[in-house]
Amino acid sequence: MTHHVSRRDVLRSTGAAGLALLGGGLLSACGAPGGSSGGGTRLTMFRWAGAQGEVPKEVGDAFAKKNGVTVRYIEGTNAETFPKLVSSVQVNAHRPLLNLGFFNAQSFAQGAAEGLWAPVDSKLVPNAAKVLPEFRRDDGLGVYTVMDAMGILYNTDVVKSPPKSWLDLFKPEYRSKVTTWDAPAFAVNAVPVINKLKGGGEADLSKGIDVFADAAKKGQFAGLVASIDQLRKQLVSGQVVIAPGFQGVAQPWIDAGDPIGFAVPSEGVMAFPEGFQLVKGSSSEQLKEGAKLMNEILAPDAVSRYSAATATIPLIEGAELPARFRGKPGFQLTAVRESLQLDWGRLAKSVQQATDQWNSDVKAHL
């Protein structure tokens, strides 16, 4: 038995009053305290939009039918859903917006720092032991499932030779034809990468932001994007010809025939782990059933299917990279192991200060 909470439904609820309804009313509808009503546990799971959400939904639907639970879905992006989760817990710590979620590394780290995640019980999630050793989390607060590679996206009709460096984003020849994501989405806007290349660390992103600020003052950017669809449209139309972006996001566009390429910079791609978390404040039954559902999502065959659907690199032993990706450099696990690795915990702690600097030094000049 499955139900759906659409992105539109979520976005209708804004501000404290709306979030109070989301934190209380939505999950009240999912059941009384304890997460069950009428004999069945009710779960709300956050999944990404598009191809990224297909396999989690398939697994969730099958799990619901097999185990007699109800699984509801919130579909969206980290940028819109994570803040709503934080606010829902602030309204009522025992009525979180969701019980199980799929978040990127920055949200993963921010949630851990803010005490949002519940520990993963290895007895209920034995597939967690199949995560490749170097990608396991010592704190047990969630499990990385796949890895995407962040590099440079470009319009192949305009940019005839693939960009070779992260610093190509700032070449004068691309002036007014570059875009990126707004703060606080530093996991996806390339600021930490440029900061690292300029000698900075994740605890202080000012060196990277200074580069973006100088470029903004010179008119380098066409603006900022707020969605993946917007990024795609701008790249295809030529409004933007180069931008930081993800291999897994771009591959379906390339397969569809869009004039878009993905370049692996000489300095390396940025490793971008993604995974599932259980949300603290969920009832004991929700945490138990959520852990069992997480285990199904982490099964090697499910991760293999997710990898095929999203063009990401599986991090679970026994899961396979699709044959069509095996010969491409950006899909090799060695490329990720040799990539630019970020300290996500330190990055999470620097987000507020970095956002303030971004707004005053970069955004103010766009």
61-76 per-position pLDDT tens digit? 999 999 999 999 999 8
pLDDT digits (tens, 9 = 90+) for 263-308: 999 999 998 889 999 999 999 999 999 999 999 999 999 999 999 9
pLDDT score recorded for residue 138: 85
pLDDT score recorded for residue 65: 95
User: Quick one: tokens of 82?
Assistant: 């994570």
CA–CA distance, 263 with 136 (Å, rounded to integer): 28
Domain residue ranges in the chain: 2-147+273-326, 148-271+341-365
User: Quick one: tokens of 263?
Assistant: 């370049």
pLDDT at position 212 over 80: yes
**Regarding the domain delimited by 148-271+341-365, which CATH topology (the fold level of the hierarchy) does it fall under?**
D-Maltodextrin-Binding Protein; domain 2 (3.40.190)
Q: Running DSSP on this structure, what letter comes out for residue 275?
A: E
Give the strand pairing for 178-181 and 221-225.
Answer: parallel
Instruction: Please check whether residue 268 is in contact with residue 160, taking contact to mean a CB–CB distance below 8 angstroms.
Output: no
**Closest by CA position to 192, among listed 347, 336, 77, 330:** 347
pLDDT at position 1 over 90: no
pLDDT at position 245 over 80: yes
Angle CA(313)–CA(111)–CA(227) in degrees, nearest 5? 60
Q: Tell me the CATH class for 2-147+273-326.
A: alpha beta
pLDDT score recorded for residue 51: 79
Mean pLDDT across the stretch 131-155?
A: 92
**Closest by CA position to 271, among listed 166, 155, 86, 135:** 135
- Whole-number mean pLDDT of the chain? 88
pLDDT at position 193 over 90: yes
pLDDT score recorded for residue 289: 97
Q: Do domains 2-147+273-326 and 148-271+341-365 have the same CATH topology?
A: yes
User: Quick one: tokens of 147?
Assistant: 């890895």
Angle CA(213)–CA(215)–CA(217) in degrees, nearest 5? 70
Beta-carbon contacts of 21 under 8 Å, excluding residues fewer than 6 positions away, are 13
pLDDT digits (tens, 9 = 90+) for 2-28: 444 333 333 333 333 333 333 333 333
pLDDT score recorded for residue 335: 73
Check residues 306 and 331 and name the one with the higher pLDDT: 306
- What is the chain's Cα-based Rg? 20
CA–CA distance, 193 with 173 (Å, rounded to integer): 21
Phi-psi region of 348 (alpha: psi -120 to 50; beta: other; left: phi over 0): alpha
Phi-psi region of 66 (alpha: psi -120 to 50; beta: other; left: phi over 0): alpha
pLDDT score recorded for residue 266: 93
Instruction: Please check whether residue 46 is in contact with residue 100, taking contact to mean a CB–CB distance below 8 angstroms.
Output: yes
pLDDT confidence bin for 48, thresholds 50/70/90: confident
Mean pLDDT across the stretch 121-140?
A: 92
Give the strand pairing for 117-118 and 100-104.
Answer: unpaired
Q: What are the start-end ranges of the H helices in 114-263? A: 191-197, 206-217, 228-237, 247-255
pLDDT confidence bin for 365, thresholds 50/70/90: very high
Instruction: Please check whether residue 173 is in contact with residue 160, taking contact to mean a CB–CB distance below 8 angstroms.
Output: no
